[in-house]
Structure 1
């Protein structure tokens, strides 16, 4: 029979659904750093077979959210460490590219969205709502990423961005969030002036700061 002309909406692969749920559980702390991840237990929790869980864990290992030790165990990665530092450097570079490309194209509405997101970020931090602060921060940075419309940037950020959200959660639960709000304001100011390179430097610096925040300190 011929293929029907009316297409059904695409359904996400089960592996992708499982990956998203595990990723979110790691990012929000439900699955804590160092916690052992047993595919049988996760399969029961998620109501799926072990195969998509194993596939999802392999994907999460590639992005650095979990660590796999062949023949031994798979555990949630620590918040600090080389994987986080590498991810911060890559994500910082991608945001720099996005801002350079987006700044000449930003509309007044885009600038307004950035300002509203930063206002929401400040309010969330004042209220002690870390989840809302993270959501506002994502909305703030998404403006330039969306306006740049660079598929490679979006792909890299989707892979490595979640690795940094746990570090951001720690930052936004502290006084450092006020410094982030001030840097956001600087970024808005440079974008409004259409100074792409100054804006890009601020955007990159926001993410490179996580390198310092997540670098283990040596004991004297």
Structure 2
């Protein structure tokens, strides 16, 4: 897939994290496909920045397993590797479980979860998978933010995108199941049922079953 021509660049004053997020999201949402070669000069022109933050972002993406860099040769988008996704899923599940067990989600947080789930439902109705993924991410991050554990947030930033690539396939066919689980989690948290919410959280993340073929 060629570098998009109509996407506006980021402001030159934005931090390296913004470049990283733009490239990460382009991989997760399929703009850049598995096996596609990424050239830092082309990416820098697309984003309207120098090559330095792009190179730094590619290094970070390599640490997350989203790209494969061959020194002196090329950087390509990685394929969706079943074992890598399973490993990342288990780590992500553990982090969200810790958040649900330890966080006290107040009434305002519960309402934000309801709002995120409404946006998730609207995106599914519209067939807008990228918007559904954004809403799902926002939904699950609310208990994480309520806990305020920056170590958990850092781990999710690193391994979450690996899981999201596989979830994109699932949301296309099974998004309604996630919607129902969201509703149940909201109800459990609103009732103060930490044990029930914890069990549901563990089960939710492990519904992402990945074999050596296509994630399901």
The reply to whether TM is greater than 0.5 is yes
CA distance in 2, matches of 1:52, 1:114: 34
What corresponds to 2:21 in structure 1?
Answer: 20
CA distance in 1, matches of 2:30, 2:143: 28
What corresponds to 1:153 in structure 2?
Answer: 152
CA distance in 2, matches of 1:69, 1:186: 45
What corresponds to 2:178 in structure 1?
Answer: 180
TM-score normalised by structure 1 residue count = 0.82
Question: What is the aligned residue count?
Answer: 202
Once the 2 structures are TM-superposed, how far is the Cα of residue 53 of structure 1 from its aligned partner?
Answer: 2.4
Once the 2 structures are TM-superposed, how far is the Cα of residue 34 of structure 1 from its aligned partner?
Answer: 1.1
Listed one character per residue, the Cα deviations across residues 132-184 of structure 1 (whole Å, up to 9, x for unaligned) are 2112212211221111111111111122222222222222111x111111111
Once the 2 structures are TM-superposed, how far is the Cα of residue 71 of structure 1 from its aligned partner?
Answer: 4.9
Once the 2 structures are TM-superposed, how far is the Cα of residue 114 of structure 1 from its aligned partner?
Answer: 1.8
Listed one character per residue, the Cα deviations across residues 53-75 of structure 1 (whole Å, up to 9, x for unaligned) are 22221110001111223454321
Computing the radius of gyration over CA atoms, which structure comes out larger, 1 or 2?
1
Residue in structure 2 matching 1:197, options 180, 195, 198: 195
In structure 2, list runs of 5 or more residues that go unmatched: 1-12
Contact kept, 8 Å, 1:80 with 1:215, in 2: the verdict is: no
TM-score normalised by structure 2 residue count = 0.83
What corresponds to 2:127 in structure 1?
Answer: 128
Contact kept, 8 Å, 1:125 with 1:177, in 2: the verdict is: yes
In structure 1, list runs of 5 or more residues that go unmatched: 1-10
Contact kept, 8 Å, 1:64 with 1:84, in 2: the verdict is: no
Once the 2 structures are TM-superposed, how far is the Cα of residue 32 of structure 1 from its aligned partner?
Answer: 0.8
Structural mapping, 1:98-137, within 5 Å: 98-102=99-103, 105-137=104-136
CA distance in 2, matches of 1:49, 1:64: 23
Contact kept, 8 Å, 2:185 with 2:201, in 1: the verdict is: yes
CA distance in 2, matches of 1:28, 1:145: 23
CA distance in 1, matches of 2:115, 2:20: 31
